[in-house]
Amino acid sequence: MRAKRIWAGIGLVATLVTITVVVCNGVLAGPKVHVGRVCQEPNRPSLEEVDHSAYDALLKKYVDERGMVAYGAWKGSAADSLALDEYLIRLGCVDLSKSAATKAKLAFWINAYNALTLKGIMREYPTSSIRNHTSKFAGYNIWKDLLLIVDGRSFSLEGIEHSLLRKMDEPRIHFAIVCASKGCPPLLNQAYTAARLDDQLGANARKFFAQPTNFRADAGRRVIAVSQLLQWYGGDFAPTSEGQIRVLRPYFPNADELAWIDQGGVSVRHLDYDWGLNDQR
């Protein structure tokens, strides 16, 4: 009997250790939510051949010039909710093995990230912040557990951002992918396309830094205050904070008056990030 108790105790400890290891390694994740479907159609398009016009029409209808979204109205429209679902399905019906130019890949995955985020928020709406749905342990984490099926594979928001977009050597993607928060760059009310990508990324960067919550300059004290976005991802632009603001100066408001930035000796601080939902309501 004692031996049985000992072995039972050992088994319980082993189980607890296993659970702990699983949790620490992130395996014990929340329930997965799959969006889209596995496509069996022959002759599926390349990323360059995807039509983003239906998504573009939805953005124009529900996203204003500030990048704020009418989530309630969009969710309340059965037809337009279905239209977003159908667009996400079409994104999934591509052939990733077919060649595509880098700009087409960037436009495709930026649109995929933003459309999947919109789908994820409307699934939870009404809500006050995306952070309400980002459990760090066993619960649902929208960045990890909301999965878009593309060419038979599952892609999370986190995976799209870090494993795909950030590896394409275009750091301005950080002014295009939107985490459904007021502190994010504004959600562009048009789909990204390969033909217009440079102009769209540049325009959104300028719009982002035009907000005093994201950029302030004090020439007298030689201090630049920028969004916390650069604290997290500034290394994609340049190794140091001073280098980052020099690279980004063309996108700052009144850039010609900020030539003193290039002279060095500038202090950089980061502004608080607003995780409130980018909701028109």
Measure the CA–CA gap between 119 and 80, rounded to whole angstroms. 11
Q: What is the mean pLDDT of residues 17-27?
A: 33
Residues 236 and 142 in one domain: no
**Residue (of 163, 193, 165) closest to 178 by Cα position:** 165
- The pTM (predicted TM-score) of the whole model is 0.89
The H or E element containing residue 150 is: strand 146-150
Given a cut of 60, whether residue 20 has pLDDT beyond it is no
Residues 21 and 140 in one domain: no
**Percent of the chain at pLDDT exceeding 90:** 87
pLDDT-based confidence at residue 29 (cuts at 50, 70, 90):
low
Residues 139 and 237 in one domain: no
Residues 58 and 15 in one domain: no
Could you tell me if residue 280 is inside a domain? no
ω into 126 cis (within 30 of 0): yes
Residues 66 and 3 in one domain: no
pLDDT-based confidence at residue 212 (cuts at 50, 70, 90):
very high
Measure the CA–CA gap between 35 and 144, rounded to whole angstroms. 13
Secondary structure class of 147 (helix, strand, coil)? strand
Could you tell me if residue 184 is inside a domain? yes
Residues 243 and 203 in one domain: no
DSSP state of 189: S
Q: What is the mean pLDDT of residues 183-203?
A: 98
Give the largest CA-CA distance in the chain. Answer: 84
Could you tell me if residue 277 is inside a domain? no
Helix axis angle for 197-209 and 102-124, nearest 10°, is: 50
Residues 104 and 199 in one domain: yes
Q: What is the mean pLDDT of residues 243-250?
A: 98
Residues 132 and 145 in one domain: yes
Measured in whole angstroms, the distance separating CA 45 from the mean position of its chain's CA atoms is: 24
Give the CA distances from residue 213 to residues 209, 216, 267, 272, in Å, rounded to whole numbers and listed in that order.
8, 8, 18, 8
Residues 106 and 26 in one domain: no
Residues 195 and 69 in one domain: yes
Given a cut of 60, whether residue 142 has pLDDT beyond it is yes
Could you tell me if residue 86 is inside a domain? yes
Note down the domain range covering 3.
Answer: 1-30
Position with higher pLDDT, 5 vs 89: 89
Residues 251 and 183 in one domain: no
Helices (H) and strands (E) in the chain, counts: 10, 6
Please, are residues 140 and 157 in contact by the beta-carbon 8 Å criterion? no
**Which of 156, 179, 209 is the C-terminal boundary of a domain?**
209
Query: Is beta strand 33-35 parallel, antiparallel or unpaired with respect to 146-150?
Result: parallel
The total of structural domains in the chain comes to: 3
Could you tell me if residue 194 is inside a domain? yes
Give the mean pLDDT of the chain.
91
pLDDT-based confidence at residue 155 (cuts at 50, 70, 90):
very high
**Residue (of 32, 23, 218, 226) closest to 120 by Cα position:** 32
**Percent of the chain at pLDDT exceeding 70:** 90
Model pLDDT, residue 137: 84
In the chain, the amino acid numbered 200 is Q
Could you tell me if residue 92 is inside a domain? yes
In the chain, the amino acid numbered 48 is E
Residues 178 and 230 in one domain: no
